[in-house]
Amino acid sequence: MAPKVWLNGELVERERALVSVFDHGLLYGDGVFEGIRSYGGRVFRLEKHVRRLFDSANGIRLTIPLAPQAVGEAVVATLQANGMKDAYIRVVVTRGEGTLGLDPNRCPKPNLFIITDRIELYPRELYENGLEIITASTMRNHPNAVNPRLKSLNYLNNILAKIEAIDAGTLEAVMLNHLGYVAECTGDNLFIVRDGRLFTPPIAAGILEGITRDEILDIARRGNIEIREENLTRQDLYVADECFLTGTAAEVVPVVGIDKRTIGSGKPGPVTKRLAEEFHRRTRG
- In DSSP terms, 279 is beta-bridged to none
CA distances to 20, 31, 65, 114, 240 from 62, in Å = 18, 8, 9, 17, 41
Neighbours of 114 (CB within 10 A): 24
Q: Which is the catalytic residue, given 151, 162, 260, 273?
A: 151
3-state secondary structure of 90: strand
The C-alpha atoms of residue 267 and residue 154 are separated, in whole angstroms, by 35
Asked whether the beta carbons of 107 and 36 are under 8 A apart, the reply is no
If residue 38 lies in a helix (H) or strand (E), which one and from where to where? strand 31-39
The C-alpha atoms of residue 223 and residue 36 are separated, in whole angstroms, by 25
CA distances to 18, 137, 211, 223, 256 from 174, in Å = 35, 9, 19, 27, 13
Active site residue 267: no
The C-alpha atoms of residue 132 and residue 144 are separated, in whole angstroms, by 31
3-state secondary structure of 125: helix
Instruction: Give the catalytic positions in this structure.
Output: 151
